[in-house]
Structure 1
């Protein structure tokens, strides 16, 4: 006897699943029960596939988990992780059905600690903003032609070389004063703030550049210090912030009077372009020369015109006497012409003058003519209306039922008053009313005949 025959079947209705069905159910259960979350750990076994997807493990001292970050997600990452990097990933727990392996589907990745630093950054930013240190109204305009430029940065920083290169290209003769300070590491924030305060106390420059090259959030953290922000806000001269790259933002950027995306851009914003100024100067010189030439030509023409108008007083007196004589002749001619015109107008008015009796006769003739036209109109309209009335009376007689009855016809009605038009509507024994031209009679139907 087989030993399995002795084992009772306690679940006779339990279905049998395939491995694929089991893994699919496990994946759905995981994804429905575990939400999207942040996981911290050390990267190991990192591999970039030909498809662009990232495959790696995330581990700590006692456990590890497989992770995948597809190309559509990792293309937005700020860096490519390497084995040994301590990172934080935002991921959705799931199950890879083909191998039955538990894994994390990463949607975002950042260096470990960056989230906490960013949270600290936001809190400090809100606090300082509430105090008005970032108020745009307080921002000052940079001088167009600074006499001296101050730079707060490290002497060994690449940012200093970029700034000096840009200044030598744009304005080689502009004096520069360096206020050296570390820009990274422990205590760098306090030293940067001290350098800014030193520049303000010495008052040696017109514009102050606070700059350093790009880096991670940790590398730029010194420029997020409260002391640095307050020193920039209290600076007596305008401050230009050129920290990091175009995508990097620090609290020093918000406190500065002007934020530049790079140290080179900060130097370009704070200094005038010598070549552009020379071009503008040359353009203005050409405009001035052209204006002077036009003015000289205009004044020479005006001088010639005045010279032609210059006349001897005796000649002017003779011309005035001639003009006076001509005006006297025109006055005499105008007086004679006006007198003749008035005589003619009076004669025309005398001809048009009519006595009242003539007016009355003319109006009487007009009234008689209107009276005659009125009588003719009344007579013609009365005759036409009589003819219309006769035609309407004749039509009314033709349509009058009494006239039809007078010619020997009659109207047959049922007891309810309905007019009988067809013998089929009557049955033997029905009572009917017959209306004649003179009076009416009641009858009883004995029989009917159809046409």
Structure 2
């Protein structure tokens, strides 16, 4: 027995993992490379892939929480920039990259996502002219879905009041920038459709970068506009900005101001003072929101809140891998048992007397058929002989002759064959085919010889 202490594989792996955990350089790494072996787990939503360059490669995984934030679909051969951390997965004892964010190298992720969604909705027919609804000429109530503060809402309201003061403006506040902007816009469009008196709906915001305008390129926003019963005018960004919302809406205006002009007929400027005060109020509200949002972001960036998934991430991955192994083992076990069962069935079939029984059954069936034929032939032969005898008996049967008009005379129960047997005053019995009669002889005449 050696005195050298040997570590278990698990203990060694745990030690290596602790080393990875302790290394600050591995907690937040930035890596670029090419995607290969990309596979999205249908059940969990995790994305497993390999990141490689010309000389080496590393296994990587992006959990569903991060994968759901991607604006594009990762594909094999795509060059990307990845941010994440490197650690050891204890189940397999190998290190891998845990991706938190992913951006394409070259064309931006937002551009790729825009092209992918535009092609999808175009194929479904959401851009077809036949779906476009007419914009009413004299709207009574105009709904506006945009941010409650900023230049866009000011321009829209100002333009409407200047050109058509008779119309009421109903604002449906929505976030127009950030992760929560798309759901907020969808909710505002749906709320507008619940108010039956809204005649036309303006959806838009002011100018900005593609990131600032991205909420209007989200699929849920496009479908909400398409499904709206109210005609929708889109006015997003500047004249050069084009979004998915512009393609789906019933009328695309170059700017929020142009959208307001399209929604109403021309009129004079009205209520400028009111709009100025409203703008001041919106600015104060926006300033308060920015202040509170700054406080919230500071709290969210604290380590326990910023990375809560790292506490249970190994268990999520272990559960996912265990589930895959269980499915594979179940499939293999079932196939193995089916093969064994088939082998047993073949052996039983080879050793059973079933074949001999089937042969005897066939032989018995043949003999039975032959016997049936012989019996039928014998019966037919006997029937033919019987019929011949019947015909002979019928030919000799006196009753048959009587049917042709003859009768039989009996005297004291004996057949009278000649008049010589008769005497006058003698009682006779005459039999006919259908009965008999009693008679008395009154006279007898005998034929002379030679008479017919």
Taking structure 1 as the reference length, the TM-score comes to: 0.36
Higher relative contact order (CA 8 A, sep 6+): 2
Structure with max Cα Rg: 1
Taking structure 2 as the reference length, the TM-score comes to: 0.36
